[in-house]
Structure 1
Amino acid sequence: MARLDGRIAVVTGAGIGQGRSTALRLAQEGAKVLAVDVSGAEKDTAAQAPDQIEPVHADVTRGDEVQALVAEAVGRHGRLDILCNVVGVAGIAQAPVPDIDEDDYDRLLTVNLKSVFLGMKHAIPAMVASGGGSIINWSSVGALVSSPQTAVYGASKAGILAMTRAAAREWGKANIRVNAICPGFVYPTGMTLMGEREFPEAVSRAASKSALDRPGHPDEIAAVAAFLASSDASYVTGTYLVVDGGWTAG
């Protein structure tokens, strides 16, 4: 029996990169997956495992759309067991603090932090009704270490860790586990491909920071997500797993 047989999962940002790999890995482990994206690429992900993955087009920065996708999961399958909040963006609001544009600040916090808040806001009641569940939020090593011109990005990812810990404390007695993943430099993803175009030197530096002397692959992050989603992690909550090839060990 696969570890996630019978589980119902929602994966955001599932059209590309870590979201796509996570949707495919959870499906491989036996879960029925709603692959959520705003790009249309969620259909391509679902086509890789049509018996296990269903595409859902939604903007997860909008509360009404997140509420609707959770309702769709419950309406189709009667329950919700796993939420992977993968959506994120980088490469905007990337400047010294006095030079950061307010609109860019708002956009980055909306995509990176508000989407996680909305996912948990609407998924937690459904998980309570289902008897429990596992929420996995995508943070970053940027929440743990700093570098110039990444103040807003780091703040958004640190905020995810704070919300993760608080939600874990709030809902543990309802059998809901809430954890985060802090990936290092992972390639290819939508975020790193955009960074490669706009900030090639920064991307090159990031790729060289791993003790393993290579970037991570989205499938390696997805494997950690599958562990956190499964009963193998039944006593793991309120924490984060760093998956960075040794970047933060230096």
Structure 2
Amino acid sequence: MNRQLVKIFLAMFLTFVGVIALNSEELALSKISDEEFRQMGELMRELRNIKKDALFVPVARLQLLYLDNQIEQVKESDPETANKMRKFARGVAYNIASFTWPGWGNTGPISSEAQELGFSAARVGLEYSKAADDITSNILWINGAHALSAKQFELAIERFEAAHQIASTEIDKLMQGGWIALTQLLKRSDEETEKAFDTAFNNLQSSDHEYAEFFASQLTTAREIFTAEDTDE
């Protein structure tokens, strides 16, 4: 990471307490400014470019804290702006949850603490969605995905089914159907659940959508990961 990025990163942490200590007269403890928030977004893009994804989550957490504070500041006086911020914050929360979910298969080991943080971020994102009256299938899916990895199968099915109900495209419905079937299979593996999963998988894979193969392969990857975890136990 170059020196300028280090300076920006340190500045973000120096102003972290400013999200809470808003009444301090010290500049170093003042709230994060709009320009610093913009720099956080720039830093996150740069971290991805130089393949420092492990540093993405703490920076995203700073973004989320900043947004949450801003929402509190304007929710009574400017509800429209507050809702726009909630939707943006939902995206940040989703990113945290996504980066800490072990089911992708390409992230390397993810600690239990990081997974707990990700599950929490997923829940926070869903709460922002509810407050903005704009629940999306994506935020429901990431909640289901974390519930699945935490072996909270009933909750996972509930979230995936809710995502399926509001899915606006056929490929989204097929994808959510695949995750429902996978969760039921991991919860109870027998001939019935195996057959249901195969059907859901084939329906997804045979779709003419350009990303159908990728979505189907993700089901296979997640199944392998979570089945291996059960074997290790």
TM-score with structure 2 length normalisation? 0.30
The structure with higher relative contact order (CA 8 Å, sep 6+) is: 1
Instruction: Choose between structure 1 and 2: higher strand proportion.
Output: 1
Bigger Rg over Cα: 2
TM-score with structure 1 length normalisation? 0.29
Instruction: Choose between structure 1 and 2: higher helix proportion.
Output: 2
